[in-house]
Amino acid sequence: MLKAEITKLTVSDVRFPTSLEQHGSDAMHTDPDYSVAYVVLDTDTSLKGYGLTFTVGRGTEIVVCAVEALSSLVIGKTLEEIVIDFRGFYRLLTNDGQMRWIGPEKGVIQLATAAILNAIWDMWARAEGKPLWKLLVDMDPRQLIRCIDFTYITDELTEQEALDILEKANKGKQEREDQMRKEGYPAYTTSCAWLGYSDEQLTQLCSAALDEGWTRFKVKVGADLQDDIRRCRLIRNMIGPENTLMIDANQRWDVSEAISWVSTLAEFRPLWIEEPTSPDDILGHAAISKALAPLGIGVATGEQCHNRVMFKQFLQASALQFVQIDSCRVGSVNENLAIILMAAKFKVPVCPHAGGVGLCELVHHLILFDYISVSASLDNRMCEYVDHLHEHFKSPTVIRNAHYIPPKDPGFSCEMLESSVQKHQFPRGEVWRRILGQKHSPII
């Protein structure tokens, strides 16, 4: 199946009207419609690849255009020639002599790159008959290294250092894989406390989550301090002192405001403050980290970090205590491998960003790989889970006892139900024709 030639790339703008019920609402994204640019790669055989990148509504059409602009670099290649020189193919997509001007390796063009590469990885895992996490875990360390572009990061992570990290983790690898199959990877929930939820909703959802066995909870903050105090007190009182609380401001504050605001919320003992300021402000995050350290509060960020170079600088500056990789923001598995290995070198735990559409499905492949083949640690490590929109996927995420259960189906868990894609295509799908036809629709 590796000989399969890619003959067609199709990309769709698929949106879900989550803003109607305030799902996903936070201090900066008050009315998100969770969406994807959804890629399907056809070949001259029965083999296909499915990939996506996540957005929050308007602008998805721009990502679709970027995917289409990159498609000529993909069509006509065989899976074999891509994976034999995956580093070279990654550079081909990210360093086109003209299109890199609208990046390079950031923004819309990198989101489009992620969608295409996610589809390639899905196709490769399908060709090998393995879920992606297992493909990565079984791969020879030298082959893994050849998938990574080390450009601009060798001052902190060389190929040899990466190889040493992987080879060191070989000890106990099978035992960790067996453990994950039996127990799963620890998760935390963000589903209870979106900023747009009423106290009644928050109480009901938090109570249900406790009944289901959840012990780690994240609360959205940042719009109003007194409101945050009330909501954090409500959640902390419900979950008790023994369970874990995190807070997330979604880039709301300036640096000094972040320090002051979070210091006020310190009484609720959050493990971390997530995205306290601009995702590009590395030194600002470092200042916040230094100021909050005496309070025992770490800084988590990364879901809107453009690439491995920025992650390198965050780590160099001690600007984050929790690395939040994202399966669709950076350059897919290839770039996330580099970030995971750098985090291991700096001994900073990886706690992925998830939720949205498909992010849970994708990212838990990566965190399973991190535990089994890289970090060999669960200390202060967990993966985000949001209980939205999983029903639209062929191989939806499985949660048991607040743990991600390793996927068994071959691929990267990217494939969506065709009926869901058709109904939610924007703007001509059945769902959007109905919504946009309503004169007073809040979407418009």
pLDDT in tens, 388-403: 899 999 999 999 999 9
Domain ranges (residues) in the chain: 164-418
Q: Please tell me whether residue 188 adopts helix, strand or coil conformation.
A: strand
* Residue spans of alpha helices (H) in 240-295: 255-264, 282-292
What are 382's two structure tokens?
A: 């967990």
9's CB contacts (< 8 A; 6+ apart) are 39, 40, 41, 42, 67, 68, 71, 74, 75, 116
Determine the Cα–Cα distance for residues 277 and 388; give it in Å rounded to an integer: 26
The pLDDT confidence band at residue 63, using thresholds 50, 70 and 90, is very high
Range with the lowest mean pLDDT among 114-118, 192-196, 221-225? 192-196
353 noted as active-site residue:
yes
Specify the pTM. Answer: 0.96
Sort strands 244-248 and 270-274 into parallel, antiparallel or unpaired: parallel
The pLDDT confidence band at residue 206, using thresholds 50, 70 and 90, is very high
Tell me which residue has tokens 């919504």. 435
What are 265's two structure tokens?
A: 């919320």
Distance in Å from the first CA to the final CA of the chain: 46
Tell me which residue has tokens 């199709």. 10
The percentage of the chain sitting over the pLDDT mark of 70, rounded to a whole number, equals 98
Whether 127 and 47 have beta carbons less than 8 Å apart is answered as yes
Residue 45 confidence (pLDDT): 98
Greatest alpha-carbon span in the chain: 62
220 noted as active-site residue:
yes
Tell which phi-psi region holds residue 417, choosing left (phi > 0), alpha (psi between -120 and 50) or beta.
beta
What are 53's two structure tokens?
A: 């990148």
Burial of 419 (0-12, 13-18, 19+ CB in 10 A): exposed
Determine the Cα–Cα distance for residues 360 and 347; give it in Å rounded to an integer: 24
The pLDDT confidence band at residue 444, using thresholds 50, 70 and 90, is very low
Range with the lowest mean pLDDT among 2-16, 25-39, 134-148, 380-394? 25-39
Q: What is the pLDDT of residues 11-38, one digit of tens each?
A: 999 999 999 987 777 767 878 999 999 9
The beta-strand segments (E) located in 213-355 are: 216-220, 244-248, 270-274, 298-301, 322-323
Q: What is the mean pLDDT of residues 325-332?
A: 98
Determine the Cα–Cα distance for residues 235 and 219; give it in Å rounded to an integer: 8
Whether 133 and 368 have beta carbons less than 8 Å apart is answered as yes
CATH superfamily for 164-418 is Enolase-like C-terminal domain (3.20.20.120)
Kindly report the backbone phi and psi dihedral angles of residue 240, in degrees, each rounded to the nearest multiple of 5, phi listed first: 80, 170
Residue 27 confidence (pLDDT): 67
Q: What is the pLDDT of residues 274-327, one digit of tens each?
A: 999 999 999 999 999 999 999 999 999 999 999 999 999 999 999 999 999 999
The percentage of the chain sitting over the pLDDT mark of 90, rounded to a whole number, equals 93
Q: Which of 218, 285, 353, 364 is catalytic?
A: 353
Q: Please tell me whether residue 196 adopts helix, strand or coil conformation.
A: coil
Mean model confidence pLDDT for the chain: 96
Q: Please tell me whether residue 202 adopts helix, strand or coil conformation.
A: helix
Tell which phi-psi region holds residue 419, choosing left (phi > 0), alpha (psi between -120 and 50) or beta.
alpha
Q: Which of 23, 218, 220, 364 is catalytic?
A: 220
Q: Please tell me whether residue 88 adopts helix, strand or coil conformation.
A: helix
Q: What is the mean pLDDT of residues 80-87?
A: 98
Residue 441 has pLDDT above 50, yes or no: no
Residue 439 has pLDDT above 70, yes or no: no
